[in-house]
Amino acid sequence: MSDDQLARANMRGIGFMLVSMMFYIVCDALTKSAGATLPVGEVIAIRSTVAALLLAPFVSWRGVPAYLKQLWSPAMIVRNVGDVGVTILFCITLVNVPIANATSIMQTSPLAITAAAALFLKERVGWRRWTATLVGFLGALLIIRPGNADFTWWYLPAIVSILFVVMRDLGTRFVDKTVPTVPVTLWTFLLTVAGASVFMAPWEGWRTPDSLEFAKCMGAGFFVTFGASFLVMSLRSGGEISTIVAFRYSIVLWSIGIGWLVWGQLPHPTSVLGIIIVVGAGLYTVHRERVRRMEAVRKP
């Protein structure tokens, strides 16, 4: 690939990533709004059902039911348990804290994955990336501000969800690469419906949503489906992954903007400092990963 072709592929991938993050934050905003009046598990179940229905025709069209047996592989089970766990726990936090804070805390997940890859997969992680990981987690503490008057334990589910992100992403690495993305995503949505219904309905209850609440849940399902689709398109654009992934942090800007427009919420100055530290640490980790790969290519 020539430099000109690579530049175009990078721009295409970055564009898809920016659109993906925009779709995801609109989904989160609709989920948060619906969760203010409906049980969170019910919102998740309706949202995931809509997403599954949108994806189902594409699974049938591509003839991928043949891959159903592989969806029960150990790697896929680990991946899906992680994905269901992070969806449920993050949504619990999302409904109860400012959207920018909830979103920014989740940006520590790449740092946690870096640490887990070093500990469990024996990947080489130098002192610079370890330092960035520790600094990023300190930034998350500034966002949460424990001990402050407006601190809430509703941040705890999002913190625990980082462990499920690690499960999901490490499990994904071992999923058979011949399995297409669409059936994997559909399977995850179906399991999320089951997980939200089984683990949350018994203690949250269930009630029939009114037309506006149902529209919000449907909208969230629509936007999460297209967010996931554009994310895949960005990563398969042919550009440099390390360059494209850096723009995943644009979701923080989207979250601050939508939090201000919809709820009139702006992060506390201390939380803003924490957000800058988390994003900076994440971007530095992406940069070091790119440097590491370039050095590996240059070695004879």
pLDDT tens string 170-204: 887 787 777 777 778 888 899 999 988 887 777 77
Q: Indicate whether 63 pLDDT > 60.
A: no
Query: Confidence band (pLDDT; 50, 70, 90) for 241?
Result: low
Higher pLDDT, 147 or 186: 186
Mean pLDDT confidence for 238-253:
78
Q: What is the pLDDT of residue 271?
A: 86
Q: Does residue 48 carry a pLDDT above 70?
A: yes
Can you read off the two tokens belonging to residue 217?
């849940």
Per mean pLDDT, which range of 98-102, 175-179, 202-206, 215-219 is the poorest? Answer: 175-179
| Averaged confidence pLDDT in the chain | 83
| pLDDT tens figures, 109-126 | 878 877 877 777 777 777
Q: Tell me what the mean pLDDT of segment 195-221 comes to.
A: 88
Q: What percent of the chain has pLDDT over 90?
A: 33
On whether the CB atoms of residues 206 and 39 are closer than 8 A, the answer is yes
How far is the C-alpha of 196 from the C-alpha of 34, rounded, in Å?
15
pLDDT of residue 142: 84
**pLDDT surpasses 80 at 99:** yes
More confident residue, 218 or 74: 218
Contact 246, 293 (CB under 8 A): no
Position 132 confidence tier, pLDDT thresholds 50, 70, 90: confident
* Interior angle at CA 165, CA 161 and CA 169, nearest 5: 170
Tell me the whole-structure pTM to 2 decimals.
0.85
146: alpha, beta or left? (left if phi > 0; alpha if psi -120 to 50): beta
Domain boundaries, the chain: 3-298
Local confidence band at 261 (pLDDT 50, 70, 90 cut-offs): very high
Predicted local confidence at residue 217, as pLDDT? 95
Instruction: Evaluate whether 171 touches 82 at the Cβ level (below 8 Å).
Output: yes
Q: Residue 54: is its pLDDT beyond 80?
A: yes
Residue 206's pLDDT band (boundaries 50, 70, 90)?
confident
Q: Taking 80 as the threshold, does the pLDDT of residue 209 lie above it?
A: yes
H and E: helices and strands count for the chain: 13, 0
CA distance 274 to 138: 8
Torsion angles phi and psi, residue 37, rounded to 5? -125, -20
The per-residue pLDDT for 60 is: 62
Q: Which residue matches tokens 């297209």?
A: 226
Identity of the amino acid at 81:
V
